[in-house]
Structure 1
C-alpha cells in the first residue's frame, strides 16, 4: 500500500514498517528487542526460535526497500541488556544504512552503548515538515510520525466472527505505525470519520474504513 502525505510517498508493508521514498528511510516502531528473552527468564513459555524472528523480518524489510537510513521510532530494546543485545550487535554489523534511534520509554540502555555501535540517538527528529517522535505528539505546522500505541483494529464478519489485526492509523496530522516486534500486543483504535485505518493482513496492507 502506498499513501501520499504532504506530497511525500510512503509505502506501508504488512510487517509494520513504512518506507519513506523521498528520504530513502525505513521507519520501524516498537521492535522491543530483548522482550522475548526477558519473558523467558521469568518463566513464560515463549519459544526460543521467536527471538530470531524479529531479525529475520528486519532483514526482509531491508532487502526489499534498500534504505539509506533506518529510523527506529522508539522502544527498540525492551529492557536492560540481555542476550539479544549480542544479536543486535551482529545485525548492525551487516547494515549499510545509517541507523537512527528516537528514544522511547523502554529505551533504558545507556546511550553510550548505542553510540559505540554507531547508532545516532534523538529525542525527536524534524525532517522538513515531518516530526518523528516515539509518543504521539501533534504540533502545529508539522506532521507527526510515531509509534508507542501499538495500534490495532478489529474486523467483524457477518456471522459475528472477528479478527484483530495490527494497523497503521492515520489522522489529519499524524501517522501511527504498528508495533513491529513479536509478542507486543495491540491497542484497539476507535477511528473518527476522517481517520484512515490500514490493517496489516498476512500478505498485504488493506484500507478498511
Structure 2
C-alpha cells in the first residue's frame, strides 16, 4: 500500500519498495540501490546467496511497472563500487525500460561517466526542478525542498514490554525528505525524529505514517 503526500502543492506517492513518484512530472525517485554490492561481498568470501543479485532488478521492474514513469532519477549510489557482472544486468534492464533515466551522482558512483553515457544515462551533481532540489547528500537551500538519500534512514519503535523494531523509513522534515535505501544488503542508520518531523515507515509491504 502506498502513501500520497502533498509538498508545495505537488503530489508525491511513497511506495513500499522505497521509491517516490512525483505525479505532476511523471518522475520516479530512487536512492541508494548499490548495484554490485552483492557481487563485491561474494568476491571477498561473504556467504551472500547468488539469487540476491537479481532481487534489485525484480524490485526495479515492479516499481517502474507500477508507475510507468516518463523519467527515473536515481539519487546517487546507483553502483556500490567498480564494475562487475551486475553492470551487464543493469545494461539489459536499461535497454528494456522505456523511461528516460538520469543519475544524480553519489559518493559511491565511481564508474566512468562514459559507461553511463553509452546506455543513455545523463549524470548530474544535482537537479533543480521547480521548487525542488534533488541531491544525493542531504542539502539545504533557501526556497527549495530537498529530496535526497545517502543516510539510509530508519527509526526504532518500541512496543509493549521490551519489544523493539528498527524499520527503514521516509524521513521528512519541513524542507527535506530523505529516501530509504532501495538496495538489498545496504544497512541503515537510525534517526531520531523531532516534534514536527513526519515519519513514514516501510513494513510488510506497506508505507505507514507514525
SS at match of 1:22: helix
Matching of residues 108-119 of structure 1 within 5 Å:
108-119=110-121
Q: Distance in 2 between matches of 1:123 and 1:86?
A: 25
Aligned to 1:207: 209
Q: Distance in 2 between matches of 1:176 and 1:130?
A: 13
State the shift of 1:163 in Å. 1.2
Aligned to 1:142: 144
SS at match of 2:64: helix
Aligned to 2:11: 9
Aligned to 2:193: 191
Q: Distance in 1 between matches of 2:83 and 2:18?
A: 25
Deviation readout 1:50-83 (Å, 9 max, x if unpaired): 0000000000001100100000000000010001
State the shift of 1:160 in Å. 1.3
Q: Distance in 2 between matches of 1:53 and 1:26?
A: 19
State the shift of 1:162 in Å. 1.1
State the shift of 1:10 in Å. 0.5
Q: Distance in 1 between matches of 2:7 and 2:139?
A: 17
Runs of 4 or more above 2 Å deviation: none
State the shift of 1:179 in Å. 0.2
State the shift of 1:154 in Å. 1.0
Q: Distance in 1 between matches of 2:88 and 2:163?
A: 42
Deviation readout 1:61-111 (Å, 9 max, x if unpaired): 011001000000000000100010000000001011100000000000010
Aligned to 2:32: 30
Q: Distance in 2 between matches of 1:9 and 1:71?
A: 17
Q: Kindly report the root-mean-square deviation, in angstroms, between the aligned alpha carbons of the 2 structures.
A: 0.5
State the shift of 1:26 in Å. 0.7
TM-score (norm 2): 0.98
Aligned to 2:162: 160
Matching of residues 12-161 of structure 1 within 5 Å:
12-161=14-163
